[in-house]
Amino acid sequence: MTGRVSGKTIIVTGGGGGLGRAISSLLAEEGAAVGVIDVNGAGAEDVARSLTEDGARSIGLGADVSDWRAISSAARQVGEALGDIDGLVNNAGVAALGSVHEADAESWRRIMNVNVSGVVLASKAVLPGMMERRRGVILNIASIAGLVGIRNMAAYCASKGAVLSLTRQMAADYASFGIRINSISPGTIASTEMGLRLLGGDESPEARSRRLARYPMGRYATAEEIAQAALFMLSDEAKFATGSNLILDGGLTAV
C-alpha cells in the first residue's frame, strides 16, 4: 500500500470520539497501523474493529490519558501488537463551561488533568522509543480556544493555551532527536456545536446564530476537514514543521 503514512504505527488518543474517529479512519486509509486509545474502551474497540474490517491493522484499548499506569501500559500494548510507535495524536480531551468567578475546583482540575497532563503523559509513554530510534511525530489537538478568549470557557481556554505552549517547548527539546511536535487548532466542529447542549450551553436560536456569525466562512468545520490537516502534519510532507500550530477555523481568528 502506498498511502501518505504507509508503514507507520500511530496512536490516536480519544480515538473513540467524533474527531478521533475521523483522524483514525483517515490515517488507516493512508496506510498507517492505528492504535485507538480512549477512556471509553468499547468506543475504541468499535473504531478499531471497523478499521480492521476495512483492511487496516488496528487495535482498540481503554485507557485514561491522565493515568500514567493506564496510558503507559496501553502504549506498550499498541507497540507489541502493531510495532514501534512512529506517531502520536493527542486528541483526548474534555470541555466544560464556566467563568472564573464560578469555577468549580473539581471540574477545573479534571480539565487540566486530561487536556494538559494527558498530553504530557501520553507523550512520555512514547518519547523514549522515539528518542532511541531518532524519529517520531507528535500532534497535539489544541483549539482556537488557546488563541482567543471564548466567553464562559475559562478552564478549556486555559488548558488549550497550555497545549500550545507545551507544543513549542517540546519542539525545542526533541528536534535534535528527529522528533517533530506540532499542533492544530480547530474552530468549532459542527458535531461539537450540537454537543454544546450536553454541556448546558445557551441553545436559543439567537445564541446559535451569534456563535455562527463569528465565522467568516459562515459554517463550522467537519471532522474530516480537521483530519486532513492531522494527516498532513503526521506525514513526511510536513517534515520541516516542528513547534508550529496550524489553525483551521474558517477565518474566525483572522478577523
- Taking CB under 6 A as the criterion, the residue among 29, 30, 38, 45 binding ligand ADP is 38
CA distance 116 to 203: 28
Window contacting ligand ADP (CB under 6 A); options: 2-10, 12-20, 48-56, 202-210: 12-20
Report the residue number, 114 or 116, with the smaller CB distance to ligand ADP. Answer: 114
Q: Give the Cα separation of 63 and 201 in Å (integer).
A: 28
User: What is the spatial distance between Cα 100 and Cα 153, in angstroms, rounded to a whole number?
Assistant: 9
Please list the alpha-helical segments (H only) found in the chain.
18-29, 41-53, 68-82, 105-112, 118-133, 154-174, 190-195, 205-213, 223-234
The amino acid at residue 78 is V
Q: Which residue, 98 or 187, is less far from ligand ADP as judged by CB?
A: 187
- Residue whose entry in the numeric block shows the C-alpha cell 496512536: 11
Catalytic entry in 156, 174, 215, 220? 156
**Using the rule CB under 6 A, which residue among 5, 47, 74, 114 binds ligand ADP?**
114
The reply to whether 20 sits near ligand ADP by the rule CB under 6 A is yes
For residue 37, which of 158, 157, 135, 123 has the smallest C-alpha distance? 123
Cβ pair 187, 254 in contact under 8 A: no
CB 47 to ligand ADP: min, Å: 9
Q: How far apart are alpha carbons 253 and 215 in whole angstroms?
A: 9
* Contact set for ligand ADP, span 117-176 (CB under 6 A): 118
Q: Is 156 a catalytic residue?
A: yes
Q: Shortest distance, CB of residue 254 to ligand ADP, whole angstroms?
A: 22
Q: Which of 43, 55, 53, 51 is CA-nearest to residue 18? A: 43
189 vs 224: CA distance, rounded Å: 10
Query: In this complex, which beta carbon is closest to ligand ADP, that of residue 154 or of residue 223?
Result: 223
CB 225, min distance to ligand ADP, A: 13
Contact between 192 and ligand ADP by CB under 6 A: the answer reads yes
Q: Does 9 bind ligand ADP (CB under 6 A)?
A: no
* Interface residue with ligand ADP, options 3, 4, 31, 40 (CB under 6 A): 40
Q: CB-based contacts of 87: which residues, under 8 Å, 6+ apart?
A: 5, 8, 9, 10, 11, 32, 136, 137, 138, 139, 234
Minimum separation from the CB atom of position 106 to ligand ADP (A): 15
Size of site (CB under 6 A) for ligand ADP: 22
Q: How far is the CB of 26 from ligand ADP (least distance, A)?
A: 14
Q: Scanning residues 50 to 109, which ones bind ligand ADP (CB under 6 A)?
A: 64-66, 92-94
Task: List residues near ligand ADP by CB under 6 A.
Answer: 13-14, 16-20, 38-40, 43, 64-66, 92-94, 114, 118, 189, 191-192
Q: Which residues are catalytic?
A: 156
